[in-house]
Chains A and B, each alone.
Chain A
Amino acid sequence: MNEPESPSLLELRGVSKSYGGVAALSKVDFSTHKASIHAVLGENGAGKSTLIKIISGVIAPDEGTVLVDGKPASFDSPQAANAAGIVSVFQELSVLPDLSVADNISITRPPTRLGLIDHREQRRRAEELLARVGCEDVNPRARVRDLPLSRRQMVEIAKALGRDPKLLILDEATSALTAADVDRVYKILHRLRDEGMALLYISHRMHEIEELADTISVFRNGQFIRTFAKGACSDEEIVQMMIGRDVSNVYPPKPVRETPPEPELEVKSIGWTDRLFDISFKVGKGEIVGLGGLDGQGQREILLALFGVLRNVTGTIAIEGKEGLVSSPVAATRPSKSMALIPEDRKTEGLMLPMSIADNITLTALSWLSRRFVIDRTAENNAVEAMVEKLKIKVGSTNDPVATLSGGNQQKVVIAKWLLTGARILLLNDPTRGIDVGTKEEIYRLLRELADAGTSILLYSTDYDELIGCCDRVLILYGGRIVRTLEGDAITETNIVASSFNLPLDEAGAPAAETAS
């Protein structure tokens, strides 16, 4: 598609950056070209985020030079990078929730009249840009806080386009999008490329990259490994480049059952406001049940309702035959229920980032690690060490803040916290989001081990591959209802996708374009 000798729009030479003695990037040479979609791949901690931050002016490199159009450039702020035509859509959303959509899109350099912001012109501009990303349904006056996550992400993309980028950087930009939006974004990106824009694309989803990218670069441990054209390497080769070792059998084998397992958790006709209707299902002992469907169809709410976080839930549940809704997380973790929840956002809901790894791991278990209201330090240390070992959490010292760990290891700490309670029912809310391939695999294996040992697992994942690879059964949700249960060999990508759009399975090949947002 594009020849390597076409002029490079952006070039990095010998760029290094370290945090407190740990090299995040070392001596990286990297370049990207006009009219191409360039995917950057690597595990978490490979240095992708650091690379993006340097290019977009959020941080300055310790050494090395950045060239734009062949001329050295140094950006001391995102504004400076914007001025040079480099615009980023970040993984952690950079939208301003209390401002209107129009305000967000024109947050810098708004149209003005007599020195003041021209709101009408600003709205017109917002409408135009939203139309460009296919979001005509978003009112420019609406507050971003009131929009669903996927719409916020689209606003963010519209905002980036409004800055006339020469180089557009998308950092996990589709992680919050619904499948329909993802398709739309692909189309937009392809069009932008054809118009001559350079795009840098970061994602953990392999199939996305295959569909989208022209050129792929792989990073590992802060080092640039290789750049190649799409199709030049197989999936296995790419994965191997990323993790530097062989991978076989990403998913552990599923057990073959003669008879269905005895139910551990029975959900009976649960409902909640206008988000959940008549949800009934069973999770057997040692079973992994998946929740699938388009994002935002009520999967998260099911987990939260079971865990007692939501108010005014109707219906009931039974655990080991004992009926009764869970009224709070405190009740959910009592021995009679023995539930655990791996929450959606590990950084705010799962962890206390500035506190130590040890403090985080033992938070749930302090009551039995104490004697007469005093924490037994020996017991605590033993428990922490056992968990670090069991989950192979890569730590320097367990007294380091958990914030110093990579995303994958942070998630392991969240899981460790619950393993320590010996929960019998494990609820997971998209546990592998933004986590590198190696750790994902370890988590899959761990889940299967837990299930084999008798734990009942309810797994929500936005990644269909994961549902297919991990789950004994998959419940597909649509509009707050379970529309289909897939079992055994019926758990295929086609079936999941078709069911997600609430289509009969025989029409699976042609899912309607309507969305369910």
Chain B
Amino acid sequence: MKPVSQIVRSIDKPLLFAGIFIIAILVVGTAYTLIVDGTMTLLSPTYLILQLKVASFLGIVAAGMMIVVLMGHIDLSVPWTIAASAMLATAWGGPFAIPLGLGVGLAIGLFNGIGVAYLRVPSMIFTLGVNVMLRGFMVMLTGGFSPSSVPTPAMLALAKGDIFGIPNPVIVWVLVSLGIAFMLTRTPFGRYIYSIGNSEAAVYLSGINSRLVLVGSFALCSTLCALSGILIAGYSSKAFQAMGDPYLLPSIAAVVIGGTSILGGSGKYSGVVAGTILIVLLQSVLSVMQMPEAGRQIIYGVVIAAMLLAYGRGSRLRV
């Protein structure tokens, strides 16, 4: 029995809980479909792959959010970063829609990063303001006339195509995940991100340009949001104003459910993936079970709270 308990202990606690919960969601959902229509839709590969595809949009945003949260910051401009990059890509991109969209994200991220790192405005406030500003900017650009909101063929192919049955967005998500996980664990940049989350003063006094790391991280986060925006636009065949709204709070939830401390400095990337899948699956199974919006919101909130209570508790105040 000892080896088993050791293996269990060696697994990350958030990952373990999220895993158990994902299985629980599938079991409950399958029990429901079995009873109601005698099928096991939820366990079919088609359904699961579709869920992964939907999860990839949130997952890419959450990856960016995690980097920012690891440094003890937050990015509240996510909704309109997604929408602005997708809308500008479809409106003006033409053949360069995808690079243009990513460029927009990069620019927003640099702006956020400069505000946080150089002007020293708390990120929660600055990115909140940037979000409002971006919304205004898009109203200005798209309000007077209606530019094209139709994705280019390349965007459609990226979002809707597949390789050997694996949807492209999932492949993109996997590549992003591998990149981020490698960056966080194996590169100086990743080490600096964790270090800043623990004590930026110590990093600064160690002769490291902590501001550059902050700017880089915010830029990376917004670029990932833009990538997700491009995929979402391709997936839903249009770019629209509110397209980013459903991603802000779930991405924060995915990050913290995955065991990343909201205060920064600790957390593993694998947890974020698990958190993302958990949230997407929960939303999907609740809608399969025809739960009304009210019930979905309540269950969603209770699940987040329960997961956090299970393992996210801070230590008792030790002085």
Chain A contacts to B: CB under 8 angstroms: 53, 58-59, 90, 92, 307, 309, 328-330, 332-333, 341, 343, 348-355, 359, 363-364, 366-367, 370, 373-375, 417, 421
Q: Which of B52-60, B172-180, B198-206, B233-241 contacts A (4 or more CB under 8 A)?
A: B198-206
Contact A373 B199 (CB under 8 A): no
Docked-complex contact A363 and B209, CB < 8 angstroms: no
A350 and B194 form a contact (CB under 8 A): no
Question: Does A329 contact B204, Cβ atoms closer than 8 Å?
Answer: yes
Given contacts A350-B202, A351-B199, A352-B198, contact A329 B207 (CB under 8 A): yes
Residue of A nearest to B212 (CB): A330
Top 9 nearest A-B pairs (CB, nearest first) are A333-B207, A352-B198, A366-B188, A329-B207, A364-B206, A349-B201, A352-B199, A330-B209, A363-B206
The reply to whether B205 and A343 contact each other, CB–CB distance below 8 Å, is: yes
The complex places the Cα of A352 from the Cα of B201 at a distance, in Å, of: 9
In the complex, which residues of chain B have a beta carbon less than 8 angstroms from the beta carbon of A364?
A: 206-208
B201 contacts which chain A residues (CB < 8 A)?
343, 348-349
B205 and A341 contacting across the interface, CB-CB below 8 Å: yes
Contact with A373, one of B189, B206, B209 (Cβ below 8 angstroms): B189
**Residues A375 and B186 in contact, CB atoms below 8 Å apart:** yes
Instruction: Determine whether the beta carbon of A348 is less than 8 Å from that of B188.
Output: no
Among A343, A354, A421, residue most surrounded by chain B Cβ atoms (within 10 Å): A354
Q: Which residues 176-226 in B have Cβ within 8 Å of A in the complex?
A: 186-189, 191-192, 194-195, 198-199, 201-209
Q: For residue A307, give the distance in angstroms from its CB to the closest CB of chain B.
A: 8
Asked whether any CB of chain A lies closer than 8 Å to the CB of B119, the reply is no
Contact B198 A349 (CB under 8 A): no
Q: Beyond A58-B319, A375-B186, is A363–B195 a contact (Cβ under 8 Å)?
A: yes
Kindly provide the distance from the CB of A241 to the nearest chain B CB, expressed in whole angstroms. 28
Contact A374 B187 (CB under 8 A): yes
Could you say which residues of chain B place their CB within 8 Å of the CB of A58?
319
A333 CA to B203 CA in the complex, in Å? 12
Judge if B284 is at the interface, Cβ distance under 8 Å. no
Question: B186 contacts A349, CB within 8 Å?
Answer: no
Given contacts A370-B187, A375-B187, A375-B188, contact A355 B265 (CB under 8 A): yes
**25 pairs of residues in contact across A and B, judged by CB atoms under 8 Å:** A307-B205, A329-B205, A329-B207, A330-B208, A333-B206, A333-B207, A343-B205, A348-B199, A348-B201, A349-B199, A349-B201, A349-B202, A350-B205, A352-B195, A352-B199, A353-B199, A354-B198, A354-B266, A355-B198, A355-B265, A363-B195, A363-B202, A364-B206, A373-B189, A417-B206
Q: Within the assembled complex, what's the spacing in Å between the Cα atoms of A366 and B189?
A: 9
Q: Report A86 CB to chain B, min CB distance, Å.
A: 16
- Which listed residue, A333, A343, A351, A370, touches B188 by the CB 8 Å rule? A370
In which size bucket is the chain B interface? 20 to 34
| Contacts beyond the supplied A307-B205, A349-B201: 14 A-B pairs with Cβ under 8 Å | A58-B319, A329-B206, A329-B207, A330-B208, A333-B206, A348-B199, A348-B201, A349-B205, A352-B199, A363-B191, A364-B207, A370-B187, A373-B188, A373-B189
A309 and B191 contact, Cβ closer than 8 Å, known pairs A354-B198, A354-B266: no
Bound complex: CA A373 to CA B192 (Å): 12
| A92 vs B319: C-alpha distance when bound (angstroms) | 9
Q: Judging by beta carbons under 8 Å apart, are A373 and B265 in contact?
A: no
B215 vs chain A, min Cβ distance (A) = 14
Question: CA–CA, A332 to B208, complex, Å?
Answer: 10
Decide yes or no: A348 and B202 within 8 Å by CB, A53-B319, A329-B207 being known contacts: yes
Cα–Cα, bound, A90→B319 (Å): 10
Query: Is there an interface contact between A375 and B205, defined as CB atoms closer than 8 Å?
Result: no
Give A348 to B265 CA distance when docked, in angstroms: 14
Nearest B residue (CB) for A49: B319
Q: Mark B279-319, 1 if CB is under 8 A from A, else 0.
A: 00000000000000000000000000000000000000011
Residues of B within 8 A of A370 (CB): 187-188
- The residues of A that contact B192 with a CB separation of less than 8 Å are 366
Residues in A with CB closer than 8 Å to B209 are: 328, 330
Taking CB atoms and an 8 Å cut-off, the chain B residues in 221-266 that contact chain A are 265-266
* Chain B residues whose CB sits within 8 angstroms of the CB of A333 once the complex forms: 206-207
Q: Which residues of B contact A367 (CB under 8 A)?
A: 188
Which residue of chain B lies nearest to A376 when distances are taken between CB atoms in the complex?
A: B186
- Residues on A with C-beta less than 8 A from B207 are 329-330, 332-333, 364, 421
Q: Complex: how many Å from CA A341 to CA B204?
A: 11
Interface of A is mostly: loop
| B interface: dominant SS | helix
Complex Cα distance, B198 from A90, in Å, reads 24
A359 with B191: CB separation less than 8 A: yes
CB neighbours (8 Å) of A353 from chain B are 198-199
Residues of A within 8 A of B199 (CB): 348-349, 351-353
Question: A366 vs B186: C-alpha distance in the bound complex, in angstroms?
Answer: 11
| A354 proximity list for chain B (CB < 8 A) | 198, 265-266
- Give bound CA distance, A354 to B198, whole Å: 7
A375 to B190, CA, bound (A): 10
Q: In the bound complex, what is the Cα–Cα distance between A98 and B76 (angstroms)?
A: 28
Contact residues in B for A421 (Cβ distance below 8 Å)? 207
Contacting residues, chain A, for B319 (C-beta < 8 A): 53, 58, 90, 92
Which residues of A have CB within 8 Å of B187?
370, 373-375
Which residue on chain A has the smallest CB distance to residue B207? Answer: A333
| Residue from A353, A366, A370, A421 whose CB has the most chain B CB atoms within 10 Å | A366
- Bound Cα distance A153, B319 (Å): 18
Could you say which of B198, B202, B204, B318 has the most chain A C-beta atoms within 10 Å of its C-beta? B202
Nearest CB of chain B from residue A506's CB, rounded to whole Å: 42
Residue picked from A309, A329, A370, A417, most chain B C-beta under 10 Å? A329
Distance from A144 Cβ to chain B, minimum over Cβ atoms (Å): 18
Cα distance, A341 to B203, chains bound together (Å) = 12
Chain B 68-94, CB-CB to A under 8 Å as 1, else 0, gives 000000000000000000000000000
B208 and A363 form a contact (CB under 8 A): yes
Chain A, residue nearest B188 (CB): A366
Bound complex: CA A351 to CA B204 (Å)? 11
Q: How far is the CA of A373 from the CA of B190 in the complex (A)?
A: 10
Chain B residues within an 8 Å CB radius of A373 = 187-189
User: Looking at A58, A90, A343, A349, which has the most chain B CB atoms within 10 Å of its CB?
Assistant: A349
CA distance A367 to B199 in the complex (A): 19
Q: How far is the CA of A307 from the CA of B187 in the complex (A)?
A: 27
CA distance A62 to B188 in the complex (A): 43
Which residue, of B186, B201, B206, has the highest number of chain A Cβ atoms within 10 A?
B206
Whether A359 contacts B265 in the complex (CB less than 8 A), given A329-B205, A364-B207, A364-B208, comes out as no
Asked whether A352 lies within 8 Å of B208 as measured between CB atoms, the reply is no
Residues of the A chain whose Cβ atoms lie less than 8 Å from the Cβ of B191: 359, 363, 366, 375
Interchain CB contact (< 8 A) of B186 among A328, A332, A359, A374: A374
A232–B178 CA distance with the chains assembled, in angstroms = 67
Bound together, the chains give a CA A364 to CA B195 distance in angstroms of 11
B121 CB → nearest A CB, Å: 18
User: Could you tell me the distance between the alpha carbons of A348 and B203 in the complex, rounded to whole angstroms?
Assistant: 10
Hey, which chain A residues are within 8 Å of B202, CB to CB?
A: 343, 348-352, 363
Which residues does chain A contribute within 8 Å of B186, judged by CB atoms? 374-375
The smallest beta-carbon distance between A117 and chain B, in angstroms, is: 25
Q: Which chain B residue shows the least CB distance to A351?
A: B202
Residues on A with C-beta less than 8 A from B198 are: 352-355
Report the nearest B residue to A59, measured CB to CB: B318
Contacts of A92 in B (CB 8 A): 319
Q: Nearest Cβ in chain A — how far from B192, in angstroms?
A: 8
Select which of B189, B203, B265, B318 is within 8 A of A363 by beta carbon: B203
A351 to chain B, nearest CB (A): 6
